[in-house]
A and B are shown apart, each in its own frame.
Chain A
Amino acid sequence: MREVAIIGIGATPFAPVTPDLSWKELTFSAAVRAYEDAGIDPRKDVQSFITCAEDFWEGFAIFDEFTPDQLGAAKRPMITVAGDGLLGLANAYMQIKTGLFDLVVVEAHSKISELLTYEDVLLFAFDPIYEAPLGGHPHYLAGLEMREYLAWTGTTEEECAAVVAKNKRNALKNPLAPFGAAISVEDVLCSRYLFDPLKELEIAPLVDGAIVFVLAEGGLAHRLSEKPVLIEGLGWWSESPWIGSRLPDGAYARHAAEMAYAQAGIKDPLREIDFVEVDDRFAYKELQHLEALGLARPGEAGQLLLEGAFGPEGELPVNVSGGSLGMGDAVEAGGLARALEIVLQLRGEAGPRQLEGVEVGLAQSWRGLPHGSGAVAIFRRE
Chain B
Amino acid sequence: MRMREVAVIGAGMTLFASRMMETGKELAWEAARQALDEAGLSLQDIDAVIMGTAPDAFDGIHKKGENLLDGAGGANKPYMRVYTGGGTAVMTPIAGWWHIASGMFDTVLVVNEEKMSSARPHAQSVFAHIWDPILDRPLRPNLVWIFAMEMQRYMHKYNVRKEDIALVSVKNKRNAVDHPCAQLADPKITVEDVLNSEPMALPVRRLDISPPSDGASALVLASLDVAREICPDRIVTIDGVGWCIDTTMWTNRDLAFPKFLARAADQAYKMAGIKDPKREIHIAEPYDPFNYKELQHMEGLLLCEPGEAAILTREGVTQRDGRLPVCPSGGLLGVGNPIAATLGIKAGEIYWQLARKAGRRQVKNDPVTGVCQAWGDLMQFSSVIVMRRR
Using a CB–CB cutoff of 8 Å, the interface residues on chain A facing chain B are 1-2, 54-56, 59-62, 64-69, 73-83, 87, 90-91, 93-95, 97-100, 121-122, 124-125, 127-129, 235-242, 255-256, 259, 367, 371, 373
Please state if B246 and A100 are interface contacts (CB–CB under 8 Å): no
Please state if B80 and A90 are interface contacts (CB–CB under 8 Å): yes
Given contacts A65-B130, A79-B95, A79-B245, 18 further A-B pairs with CB under 8 A are A55-B57, A61-B130, A62-B54, A64-B84, A65-B380, A66-B132, A75-B247, A77-B242, A79-B91, A81-B80, A82-B81, A94-B104, A95-B102, A98-B97, A121-B62, A238-B75, A240-B76, A373-B69
Chain B residues, CB < 8 A from A59 = 129, 133
Please state if A238 and B243 are interface contacts (CB–CB under 8 Å): no
Most buried by B among A59, A82, A239, A242: A82
Chain B residues, CB < 8 A from A87 = 80
Most buried by A among B55, B81, B102: B102
Partner of A75, one of B63, B65, B260, B377: B260
Alpha-carbon gap, A242 to B71, bound state (A) = 11
- Total number of residue pairs linking A and B with CB closer than 8 Å: 190
Alpha-carbon gap, A54 to B61, bound state (A) = 11
Contact with A along B53-77 (1 / 0, CB 8 A): 0111101111111110110001111
Most buried by B among A2, A61, A99, A239: A61
Please state if A367 and B132 are interface contacts (CB–CB under 8 Å): no
Given A56-B62, A68-B248, the answer on whether A100 and B98 have CB atoms closer than 8 Å is yes
Cβ of A254 to closest chain B Cβ, rounded Å: 11
Partner of B82, one of A77, A91, A93, A129: A91
Alpha-carbon gap, A1 to B101, bound state (A) = 12
Given A125-B67, A236-B79, the answer on whether A98 and B4 have CB atoms closer than 8 Å is yes
Alpha-carbon gap, A334 to B328, bound state (A) = 45
Chain A residues, CB < 8 A from B241 = 100
Is B200 part of the contact surface with A, judged by Cβ < 8 Å? no
Is B127 part of the contact surface with A, judged by Cβ < 8 Å? yes
Is B103 part of the contact surface with A, judged by Cβ < 8 Å? yes
Chain B residues, CB < 8 A from A259 = 78
Cβ of B320 to closest chain A Cβ, rounded Å: 32
In B123-157, the 8 Å CB interface with A consists of: 126-130, 132-133
Please state if B246 and A80 are interface contacts (CB–CB under 8 Å): no
Is B99 part of the contact surface with A, judged by Cβ < 8 Å? yes
Number of B residues with CB within 8 Å of any CB on chain A: 68
Closest residue to B99 on the A side, CB-wise? A94
Using a CB–CB cutoff of 8 Å, the interface residues on chain B facing chain A are 1-4, 23, 54-57, 59-67, 69-70, 74-85, 91, 95, 97-99, 101-104, 126-130, 132-133, 241-249, 259-260, 263-264, 267, 271, 376-378, 380-381
Cβ of B260 to closest chain A Cβ, rounded Å: 6
Closest residue to A252 on the B side, CB-wise? B76
Closest residue to B262 on the A side, CB-wise? A75
Alpha-carbon gap, A256 to B78, bound state (A) = 8
Chain B residues, CB < 8 A from A73 = 245
Q: Which 10 pairs, one residue from A and one from B, show the smallest C-beta to C-beta distance? A: A97-B102, A94-B102, A124-B62, A61-B129, A125-B62, A238-B79, A98-B101, A74-B247, A56-B62, A82-B81
Please state if A238 and B77 are interface contacts (CB–CB under 8 Å): yes
Please state if A61 and B104 are interface contacts (CB–CB under 8 Å): no
Please state if B66 and A125 are interface contacts (CB–CB under 8 Å): yes
Alpha-carbon gap, A125 to B66, bound state (A) = 8
Partner of B62, one of A60, A67, A122, A237: A122
Cβ of B43 to closest chain A Cβ, rounded Å: 13
Alpha-carbon gap, A98 to B242, bound state (A) = 14
Chain B residues, CB < 8 A from A99 = 1-3, 101
Closest residue to A370 on the B side, CB-wise? B66
Alpha-carbon gap, A97 to B55, bound state (A) = 30
Chain B residues, CB < 8 A from A61 = 55-57, 126-130
Alpha-carbon gap, A56 to B60, bound state (A) = 9
Cβ of B343 to closest chain A Cβ, rounded Å: 15
Please state if B66 and A100 are interface contacts (CB–CB under 8 Å): no
